[in-house]
Structure 1
Amino acid sequence: MIKKAYFYLFYKFYKCTDWAHTVFPHDMAAAAAIAMLEMVFIVSLKFYYIEYIDPKNELTPLQMIVLGVVVFLVNTIAFISNDGWKHYFKEFDKLPRYKNIIGTWVVILIVAFILVSAGISFKAMSEIAARRPI
């Protein structure tokens, strides 16, 4: 179920690149968009962890590099080097229009939630950083 939802998110980003006219192949552009969304989500979770659980913890450059590599590898394996997503696309293309509209709104709400949550966590972290002694 989670895998199918992940591929549906990819499907929606892929379809979005159809009308966005990117110079990159659609699968790479969609995978990059999902990777950015995942990284923003994970970093905001880390900021919440720092703010509410362990204020002495910090986000290090090594953690960011490891995060980037892991997200890149997962998305490369799932979307770029594997054509399994094409099977799901055929299934998603056959969905009734109303289910596709509902799916689009679910994706929009998930993306909005992640971006708003990230904005709040970034603001909180900037306030914490401003209070820290140099």
Structure 2
Amino acid sequence: MEKIKKAYYYFFYKIYKSIEYTSEMVGGAFWTDFKTGIVIGTLEIWLLASGLIYYSIIKNIKLNLTITNPIVLIPIVLLFILNYFAFIRTDVWQKYNAEFDKLPKDKNKKGAIIVWAIIAFITINFFGSAYYLQKYILKLY
């Protein structure tokens, strides 16, 4: 469990550093932790949405995906609670960021490649599943 927690914080760290770097280029870093939380939350929602899309296509059912539907609301609330306790409520992430800053440069580069590959996979998967759902729906009508 500790390895999963550390991997989650490393994921946060790499996104945080990327946002911090780009923010400094355009005029100054502010609310970087908040922006990072939004990025992570978006990726988590995209991953869940992709799963729901594939589930509806495989099972050949139409899902009523409104924000009040428990199949949508419960995972979003759980993700919010997870992110709240991991990043907003405490500053534990700062301790991990300091620890990850001390990693050797080559190890950090390998980690960055893995993190960006995961981000690319989630993004491509989400938009690909949405595209596939549109094609699937058009076949039905």
| TM-score past 0.5 threshold | yes
Larger displacement relative to structure 2 (122-131 or 92-101): 122-131
1:96 is displaced (CA, Å) by: 0.2
3-state SS in 2 of match to 1:58: coil
- Give, as a single letter, the amino acid of the residue that structure 1 aligns with 2:37: A
Q: How many residues align?
A: 132
SS in structure 1 at match of 2:7: helix
Equivalent position of 1:17 in the other structure: 19
Which residue number corresponds to residue 28 of structure 1?
Answer: 34
For residues 40 and 121 of structure 2, the distance between their equivalents in structure 1, rounded to whole angstroms, comes to 14
1:57 to partner: Cα distance: 4.3
Match of 1:103 among 99, 111, 115: 111
| RMSD of equivalent CA atoms | 1.8
What's the TM-score, normalizing by structure 2?
0.84
Q: 1:132 to 1:9 in 2, by over 3 A?
A: same
**Which of 53, 58, 73 matches 1:47?**
53
Gaps of 5+ in 2: none
| d(CA) in 2 for partners of 1:129, 1:89 | 44
Distance 1:67 1:23, change over 3 A: farther
In 2 relative to 1, CA 49–92 (structure 1 residues): closer, same or farther, beyond 3 Å?
same
- Looking at structure 2, the residues matched to 23 and 68 of structure 1 have their Cα atoms a distance apart, in angstroms, of 28
Asked if the contact 2:20–2:29 (Cα under 8 Å) also holds between the matched residues in 1, the reply is no
Distance 1:105 1:25 in 2: 25
Other structure's SS at 2:109 match: helix
The answer (yes or no) to whether the contact 2:16–2:32 under 8 Å persists in 1 is yes
Aligned to 1:4: 6
